[in-house]
Amino acid sequence: MTELDVEATPSPLVDLDRERYARFRIDFDAVTGFGHWLLAARLAAADVLPVRGATARREEVLARLGAAPGYEQLGEALLDILERTDLLRRHGDRLTVTDRVAEVAGLAEDDAIDAAATALRREHPEAAGYVPLLVACQTQLVEVVRGERPANEVLFPGGSPDLVSAIYRDNVQLDFYNRLCAAQVHEHVAQFLRRYPRSYAQVLEVGAGTGGTTGPVLDALADRAERLRYFYTDVGPAFLRLGRRSFGATRPYVDFARYNVESAPEEQGFEPGSMQVVLASNVLHATLRISTALRHCHSLLKSGGILVVNEMTSRLDYNTLTFGLAEGWWRHTDDEPRIESSPLLDVAGWRAALGRAGFVDVQTHAVPGRGEQVQTMFVATASGGTGPAR
């Protein structure tokens, strides 16, 4: 991770507890380091890595891993991680394990992993929510990569979102970005309703999922509820049931509907040019073609309406070691220049993609810092007008 300048001016939109955020970064790095060790321990235990003192060609190591179709890129990315963290070392075209792998040999046993994970959570509380998903993914990694176990059974055991949603709970970084989204959506809706007080503002959220971003956004919009229609959408019907349970009872202005951002809105019952705001939080990278998804978001908007995109903008090993197990992580086409070994775009990549999809005045908001941004919120205006359109 890059060093952050926690003294820099915070975003004008929302406050950030900078000391807590600095602790979060340290704790998150510790969790990621644990992931590197687990990865080495599991691959060594599965006889994928060469034994100490022996060497093997990279292709031999990959052949021993035996990635099923769709997981070849993950296999390559895992070896890259081990090399980058000096758990594997390259000598010409051959690889050896370093002495550090001996230190992690004990982590092959479930009891040892549980004990280490418990200690990690205690010592690094700001990132404790990231640990259970990491352990679940790494302990079942080899089976998933070989196609012997569906990734969904690991990420969502028994259909439960608990492992993934633990990450979102009381997470200083995700909370900050969710509040940024909420402030931005609220500002645009309020501006629109000031200009057209008899109208209704229409907001559509793409890929609302378990509602991690929706909650803060709906809270912020509570003072505009009488003149609001909010569409909570997702491609997965299970998420709509979840959303209805969380938000349906108390908020009659929220509609729940299936919407796949990879297909045109009019084919799915949504009128083009009908929304003041489209919100997409941590979803567009998961689509086959970002360019197509952005065009569909643009088409939903009235001219002058805004698209709020909250996205990871650098590759993190934690994500490769967890969400990288989902086949969807690797299914994208290269319509836009993705960050290597990931489906993500960097900030410049998003700016260019938004411009090509017809957006103008692209603004970025992020935790203040130097170097590459881990997460960024983009606000882009649908071309063809200025200010909130009717």
Ligand X SMILES: C[S@@+](CC[C@H](N)C(=O)[O-])C[C@H]1O[C@@H](n2cnc3c(N)ncnc32)[C@H](O)[C@@H]1O
Residues within the interface to ligand X (CB under 6 A): 206-210, 212-213, 234-236, 239, 260-262, 281-283, 286-287
Strand locations in 219-274 (E): 228-234, 254-258
Strand order across the 301-312 sheet: 254-258, 228-234, 201-206, 275-281, 301-312, 375-382, 359-365
For residues 206 and 362, which CB has a smaller minimum distance to ligand X in the complex?
Answer: 206
Q: CA 202, CA 207: separation in Å to the nearest integer?
A: 16
Quote the least distance from Cβ 19 to ligand X, whole Å: 25
Q: 364 by DSSP, 3-state: which? A: strand
Bin 74: left if φ > 0, else alpha if -120 < ψ < 50, else beta: alpha
Quote the least distance from Cβ 74 to ligand X, whole Å: 17
Q: 11 by DSSP, 3-state: which? A: coil
Quote the least distance from Cβ 175 to ligand X, whole Å: 11
Quote the least distance from Cβ 188 to ligand X, whole Å: 18
For residues 31 and 235, which CB has a smaller minimum distance to ligand X in the complex?
Answer: 235
What's the token pair of residue 32?
Answer: 């990621």
Quote the least distance from Cβ 390 to ligand X, whole Å: 27
Burial class (CB in 10 A: 0-12, 13-18, 19+), 215: middle
For residues 126 and 311, which CB has a smaller minimum distance to ligand X in the complex?
Answer: 311
For residues 271 and 361, which CB has a smaller minimum distance to ligand X in the complex?
Answer: 271
For residues 282 and 320, which CB has a smaller minimum distance to ligand X in the complex?
Answer: 282
Sign of the C-alpha dihedral computed for residues 27, 28, 33 and 37 taken in this order: positive
Quote the least distance from Cβ 25 to ligand X, whole Å: 20
For residues 188 and 332, which CB has a smaller minimum distance to ligand X in the complex?
Answer: 332
What's the token pair of residue 217?
Answer: 């956004």
Q: Which of 209, 199, 196 has the alpha carbon at shortest distance from 243?
A: 209
For residues 176 and 239, which CB has a smaller minimum distance to ligand X in the complex?
Answer: 239
For residues 66 and 215, which CB has a smaller minimum distance to ligand X in the complex?
Answer: 215
Radius of gyration of the chain (CA): 22
For residues 239 and 256, which CB has a smaller minimum distance to ligand X in the complex?
Answer: 239
Quote the least distance from Cβ 13 to ligand X, whole Å: 18
Buried residues in 66-79 as b, exposed as e (16+ CB within 10 A): ebeeebebbbebbb
Quote the least distance from Cβ 161 to ligand X, whole Å: 9
What residue has token string 């956004």?
Answer: 217
Quote the least distance from Cβ 214 to ligand X, whole Å: 7
For residues 138 and 213, which CB has a smaller minimum distance to ligand X in the complex?
Answer: 213
Q: Are 354 and 376 in contact (CB under 8 A)?
A: no
Q: CA 169, CA 112: separation in Å to the nearest integer?
A: 26
Quote the least distance from Cβ 167 to ligand X, whole Å: 9
Burial class (CB in 10 A: 0-12, 13-18, 19+), 3: exposed
Q: Which residue is nearest to ligand X (CB)?
A: 209
Q: CA 30, CA 24: separation in Å to the nearest integer?
A: 10
